[in-house]
Amino acid sequence: MRRRSFLNGVHDMGGMHGFGPIVREADEPVFHEEWEAHTLALARAMLAGLYFNLDEFRHSMERIEPSYYLRSSYYERWLEGTITLLLEKGVISQQEFQARLDELTERRG
């Protein structure tokens, strides 16, 4: 069966109901956290290096599981899209990524 997400993904938000008021922040910084800036730069660097193209990148975010899509922040989706594509294209492996993450998690304590 064809996946429903091809027809109408959760990312296609135009006209949806029930999200509540638009929340604005006075004097909003460009990045709220350092990891956001690094996420953007990593994705841009991978795009510039042709490890994936812009359409693949957008699609990688549109494929994010709907409930995570709705509760995640903008740069979290950028991050997960980037990781997904780099894994799929074999630029990094799941094993080495997990090993590095475990290492950093342990160091954090």
Q: How far is the CB of 1 from other proteins (least distance, A)?
A: 24
What helix, strand, coil percent values describe the chain, rounded to 5? 60, 0, 40
**68 makes contact with other proteins (CB under 8 A):** no
Please state whether 92 falls in left (phi above 0), alpha (psi between -120 and 50) or beta: beta
Compute the distance between CA of residue 104 and CA of residue 83 in angstroms, rounded to an integer: 17
Q: How far is the CB of 24 from other proteins (least distance, A)?
A: 5
Applying CB under 8 A, the residues found at the interface with other proteins are 11-17, 19-25, 28, 30-42, 44-47, 49, 51, 54-55, 58, 61-62, 70-71, 73-76, 79, 82-83, 86, 91-92, 96-97, 100-101, 103-105, 108
